[in-house]
Amino acid sequence: MKQLQIIIFALLLVLVTYDYAYAYIDPASGSYILQLLLASLLGALFTLKIFWKKIKLTIVQLFSRNNRAESHDR
């Protein structure tokens, strides 16, 4: 446990003491991020398409239960 604390302290010390990272963002990073966003969107839409009937049936049943409960209360 003591060794883990020393390692964490050393890593934090290294991260805090450096002034410059000398790093850059690759020009292709933008297109990669765009690909990830589009793939996520299309995957979500495809999943919605597959389960649309189940989602629609659940919503219809949910609202029909509310209507039945209101009609029984009257």
Q: What is the pLDDT of residue 66?
A: 64
Question: Widest CA span of the chain, in angstroms?
Answer: 73
**Tens of pLDDT along 4-49?**
999 999 999 988 887 777 777 788 888 999 999 999 999 999 999 9
Q: Are 55 and 48 in contact (CB under 8 A)?
A: yes
The total number of structural domains that make up the chain: 1
Q: How far apart, in whole angstroms, are the C-alpha atoms of residue 9 and residue 70?
A: 63
What's the domain range around 53? 2-73
Q: What is the pLDDT of residue 1?
A: 83
Q: How far apart, in whole angstroms, are the C-alpha atoms of residue 1 and residue 60?
A: 56
Q: How far apart, in whole angstroms, are the C-alpha atoms of residue 1 and residue 11?
A: 16
Q: How far apart, in whole angstroms, are the C-alpha atoms of residue 47 and residue 42?
A: 8
pTM: 0.47
Residue type, 30: G
